[in-house]
Amino acid sequence: MRVDHFDFVVVGGGIFGCYAALYLAGGGAKVAILEKEDRLFQKASLVNQARLHSGYHYPRSIATAAMSDEHKARFTEEHRPFVNQTFEKFYSIDRYGSFTDGPQFERFCEFLNIPCERVTEHNLFNFERLEALYRTEEHSFDPVLLGNYYRDKVENNAGITVFKKAQIQRSETIGNEWSIDLKLETFNLKLSTPTVINATYSATNAINQIFGVNELALTHEISEIAFVHSPQFGQRGLTVMDGPFGSIMPYGLSGLLSLSSVAYTHHKISFDALPRFDCQMPEIDPACRPEAPGICTECPRRPVSNATKMLAQMQQYFAEHVQFTQMFSYYTIKSKLKASHIDDGRPTEILLLRDNPKFYCLFAGKINSIYEVEKIV
């Protein structure tokens, strides 16, 4: 069987895998990206709320808030054509049941040194439900345009080979190298490499198992991002803090608003190491298994949309004349570190789980933390 040698094998072709591959190839390395699907960027890197985090969203995790802010300027600078920086963004505190309140949120913003201006009157909002409203500075990246950009960059980089529809059958160590058996659509291949980087997000533990390294303690949720538009609200954003509330904001430069709610976005939860759900039927659809989850938006067994419930929940924060029209929804699996339940943090973890040969596990938090890989690898 043909054996191809690479300096690095990156498993997973979302934004974290693509960025890691470009960074390593930029240093002269020969890199392979192994992607399960026939296209890069079809999972969490496409289906998300597109919030370019500045820290506001994490009043209970200073670490996540600070990490978001740390990378925001660089991310914006390097992805300027794909970032919507022109909309008005509001954060607010629900009058009932919030884990934070106005004074605490203001202290938090002051600590992080992020702008937050109290707004006491506004004809778009319902102040009977809002304890406090703030005009903030938060932007939105465009996942579709980012996907096009990264696909083009990695597929035209002479140092990177992209293997799509790739299935890792098994792996073993031979001396200081990994030997990986790869099944492709029309032929099989062996890869050898001294370093593997696992950037598969919801499939993290499945890949860790194949390489015989420790699993991460994760939970997995089938999540829905609904898309809406509103002539009255236009291209603005509102996020209601902090607890089982929601958010409506521009999805990059698409002209649509993404809608999500802590109560209704997440349809099913799996506490297993692997994302195991009752909608998976490997005998009918082998492209989606707990060991190798598929593309939820394209699945006929995806959950029935909660968009109407999300809208009803969010509508309470708006003045009566502000109406939203529901368009369509995207679905994907959201995976989180179990430890995040304590403070709702979303750190990006990069762990060296084996040395010589090396195996790094890159578990992504926020999209603008793609640069964390540079600190470690």
Closest CB to ligand FAD among residues 290, 357: 290
Cα–Cα separations (whole angstroms), residue 188 to 3, 168, 185, 248, 277: 10, 10, 8, 46, 30
Angle between the 143-155 and 15-26 helix axes, to the nearest 10 degrees? 40
CB 258, min distance to ligand FAD, A: 8
Neighbours of 176 (CB within 10 A): 10
Closest CB to ligand FAD among residues 100, 261: 261
CB 369, min distance to ligand FAD, A: 8
Alpha helices for the chain (secondary structure H): 15-26, 62-78, 102-112, 143-155, 204-210, 307-315, 340-343, 373-376
CB 147, min distance to ligand FAD, A: 9
Closest CB to ligand FAD among residues 169, 232: 169
d(CA 26, CA 139): 28
Closest CB to ligand FAD among residues 44, 160: 44
Closest CB to ligand FAD among residues 50, 228: 50
Backbone angles phi, psi at 149, to 5 degrees: -65, -50
Which is it for strands 188-193 and 177-183: parallel, antiparallel or unpaired? antiparallel
Closest CB to ligand FAD among residues 41, 233: 41
Which is it for strands 236-241 and 88-94: parallel, antiparallel or unpaired? parallel
CB 151, min distance to ligand FAD, A: 11
Q: Is the dihedral of CA 267, 272, 273, 279 positive or negative?
A: negative
CB 36, min distance to ligand FAD, A: 4
CB 321, min distance to ligand FAD, A: 28
Alpha helices for 132-288 (secondary structure H): 143-155, 204-210
d(CA 297, CA 327): 14
Closest CB to ligand FAD among residues 17, 357: 17
Closest CB to ligand FAD among residues 11, 248: 11
Residue nearest ligand FAD, CB atom distance = 14
CB 127, min distance to ligand FAD, A: 26
CB 141, min distance to ligand FAD, A: 8
Residues at the contact surface with ligand FAD, assessed by CB under 6 A = 11-17, 34-37, 42-45, 47-51, 53, 166, 168, 199-201, 203, 206-207, 223, 225, 292, 332, 334, 364-368
d(CA 224, CA 312): 16
